[in-house]
Structure 1
Amino acid sequence: KILEILKNEERRVSGEELAERIQVSRTAVWKNIHALMEEGYDIQAVRNKGYRLTRPTGVITEEGLKKQLKTKRIGRNIKVVDSLESTNDEMKGMAQEGEDEGSVLIAREQTKGKGRRGKSFVSPKGAGLYMSVLLRPKLSAERSVEMTIRAALAVSRAIDRLTGRQSRIKWVNDVYLDGKKVAGILTEGSFEMETGNMEYVVLGIGINVSDSARLLPQDLRDKAGDLSAKGSVDLSQLAVELLESLEQVIENEDFSEIMRGYRERSLLPGKRVLVEKGSDRFEAEAKTIDDKGRLIVVRKDGKEAVIDSGEVSILDWQGRVNGEE
């Protein structure tokens, strides 16, 4: 209750007022304030003036998430740590040791966060949500892209609900807000050699929440965005919204429904793009995304090409990569 009061008040609130409002002693208020500070909440205490929450985004705790989550499977087993090299690497090790499906691992900071194709994902403490989710879907290797598409739609929906703004998806795994990348998804997994089916999938999700540009390397500051343009975003609320959205797209919607939602949010159709797949590299115009989640492009010679993997970058009017990576 104290945390909720401080979140809703921009002014300092005295210990006496807090005690009156929640009907406890001032000693109990003091103990609760110190407990919140130990959890990582940035609470400013000024003698004879009271308390103020100086960073509304707060911190994520296992106990706080479990109290808020309404999912049946995803996130029922959840672990929050202060710092890891990579949540995906850690979760893959857990998966190989038999970790339950639906388990979630969140780090407040990643020191070696990973993106697709060996790129790094900068993950400074206090600036974003960094999580990995373990799934064991009954899918063949050929359909593995479906998991990334489902996750991208879940991330986009969660961002929209929390910010009241319209995010877009760049095929296949990036989410944009106001023309800048605010989230990325890295899907990794293991396949059974005999059947070709998935043994497990780890969905790595990183979302820039606040202070991102200031904390990023110079070469990324103009390319990355965050969710804070219209006010602070509570990390715990974002995590809950995302996990509930993820369970919805995985458990309750068939892939045709997913593809309709994904296409509606797609950033690429009609844009000039650079396609890189292995040693093949060519310019084209993005046309649509088919029912299997593959990108359809038209080459300069007018022939269509079906892209089921690789990297796609948006080109500007001069034919240069548009700095969205």
Structure 2
Amino acid sequence: MTIDLTNKVAIVTGAGGGLGRQHALALARRGARVVVNDLGGNVDGTGGSLAAADRVVQEIREAGGEAMANRASVTDFGQVEAMVADATEAWGRVDILVANAGILRDKTFAKMEIEDFRAVLDVHVMGSVHCAKVVWTGMRERAFGRIVFTTSSSGLFGNFGQANYAAAKMALVGLMNTLALEGAKYDIRVNCLAPTAGTRMLEGLMPQDQLEALDPALVSPAVLALVADDAPTKTVLCAGAGSFEASRIVLTKGGHFGAGEDAAEKVLAHMDRLTDTAGHLLPEEGAVQYRHELALAGFVPGKGA
């Protein structure tokens, strides 16, 4: 089944280069009208220019597509509101949001300034929140929406020297989990993409041949899948070098050790059992955890433990 996005309206943040550019081009090739948002700054978030966004818009138009450039900072809620208003005025609505904008300020936690921690959270987390919040009402009213947040293996699994980035990226998984639940009855499907791509953020960090194999264009098919009419929801899709995987947070079967004085010692002694993922659960919502724990404790509703 071909993914057809004809006349869908998409916003892609951080779309002036790298992954965002490829996402915008891919969406446009499938017929979407694309707002190419990019502040035009450096990797660390400093500086700014509309030139990068303009170049991508030109690429889309020369290929026969429709696009507009936008230089809103995702950290500024008012600017995001104006961006969505411009898209709505031009094309009537916003159907798709791909929150891709991000910055890096890598240092070990011991050497990291708190301002650098806050700045990364502000762009990745609050930037995504601002964009999702502004499009959310319209998506609810029209009973359709597709939102893709950009997480990372750094957040899912950790990465040395990226405490700020990792914290921000894992926060987006939590945001996805809840918005997917709240948007379900309105056909708003919310997912995360964990990309691996040879962008300027990775320059100097790995050999050139690996960078070339990790062409950002090879990630964008995952975005198309996550914004399709029959897209999944509440899914973390990983993509890189043309390979695709899913990452999931699961709950192990665990065990019940009561509340005795030696409960802590029992937990520590049985840590291998508690962390064994064999027969794990995949909770659909947070409440599954407490229901599972009550069941382990022998609790029967109305009768107690």
Aligning the two structures, in what range does the TM-score lie when normalised by the shorter sequence?
A: 0.3 to 0.5
- Whichever structure has more helix as a proportion of its residues is 2
